[in-house]
A and B are shown apart, each in its own frame.
Chain A
C-alpha cells in the first residue's frame, strides 16, 4: 500500500492529481489518499479528506511508501518509524502555500537517507515508479536533541 497525505490545512491538487494518474496506470499498486480540502477528486484511489492522527500514524506504519507535501509532521513521523517518504514541496507561485518555506525544507532534507524529493510532477511519476529501490531512513531518536531538551528543562527548573 502507498499512503498519500497532503495535511489538513490547504489543498494540493497538483500532487493528488499526479498520484491519481499514476495509480490509474498501475492498478496493481493500491494507494490510499488523505486529500484535505483538495478540490480534485481521485478516480483511481481510495481517498478521504481527513483521517484522525491515530489512523494517520497507523496508515504510515502499514504502508511501504508515503507520498506527501513537505510538511514536517509527516516527515518526522516517517523518519521516526523508518518509512521511506517521497515529498513534493508546495509552491507559493501556484497558490499552494502562503510562502515557499517547503522549498527550503526540502533543500535541507536533500541527501538524507530514505527521504526522496520530487520538485515537480514528471519527476514524481518517475520516482514513484522506482519506489522498489528506496531505502528506509536511518534510525532517529524518540526525542529532540538532548541539548535542546536540557535548555528547556533548566529554564523550567529555574522558574
Chain B
C-alpha cells in the first residue's frame, strides 16, 4: 500500500447526506482517505472533519421534493464532471445516488454501503442504485444475497 502511493493515488469522490450517513461514511475513512479525496455532503459544518481535502455542501433533497432533487442532481453532475473520480463511494441517500449514476457515465467504479439504519429492508436509494454499484453492500447479513447487496461487515 505504502510503496508507489503517489503513482497509484486514486481520485475518490466520497458522498453522504448530513447526519447518520455522513458519520457512517467517516467511520470507513481508513479505507479511502489516503487517496486523493473530494467530499460532498449537505451541511457545510463537517468541513473540519476532512482536513484540507476539497469539500462541497450541496442541496439537501429527498425523493419527496422534486425541485430540490433537480437542483441537487445538477450540483452533483458538475462536481463529478469537474473531478472525474476513479471511485465514487456513498452511504446515501439522494446525493450518493446521483454521484454513483453520474460517476458511472464518466467511467468511475462505484461503492454503495447502505446505512446501518436499514435493518428490515434496503433503503429506497440503495435499491435503486444497486445495478449501478460495482460494490453494493448492506450492513446486515440477513439482507444480503448472491446477486447483491453483499455483506462485508458494518460501521459498528
Contact = CB atoms under 8 A, between A and B. Distances in A.
B50 interface: no
Interface residues of A, number: 38
**Interface secondary structure of B, over-half rule:** loop
A108 B143 CA distance: 14
Nearest to B156: A140
A145 B27 CA distance: 9
A109 to B, nearest CB: 10
A53 B30 contact: no
Nearest to A7: B19
B129 interface: no
**Interface secondary structure of A, over-half rule:** helix
Contacts of A159: 10, 86-87, 109
B46 interface: yes
Interface string B1-16: 1000000101010000
Contacts of A105: 117, 119
Contact of A143 (B8, B30, B134): B30
A71 interface: yes
Interface residues of B, number: 47
A93 to B, nearest CB: 16
A25 interface: no
A152 interface: yes
B19 A156 contact: no
Contact of B48 (A54, A75, A107, A148): A54
Interface in A136-159: 140, 142-153, 155-157, 159
A118 B127 CA distance: 30
Contacts of B113: 148, 152
Given A72-B117, A76-B20, A148 B155 contact: yes
Nearest to A100: B120
B35 interface: yes
Given A54-B45, A104-B119, A152-B135, A71 B19 contact: yes
B116 A151 contact: no
Contacts of A144: 24, 27-28, 31, 153-156
A52 interface: yes
A52 B119 contact: no
Sort A-B residue pairs by CB-CB distance and give the 10 closest, nearest first: A148-B153, A145-B153, A72-B20, A73-B20, A152-B31, A52-B45, A151-B152, A104-B119, A73-B19, A147-B153
10 contacts: A8-B60, A52-B45, A73-B20, A101-B117, A143-B29, A148-B155, A149-B28, A153-B31, A155-B109, A155-B134
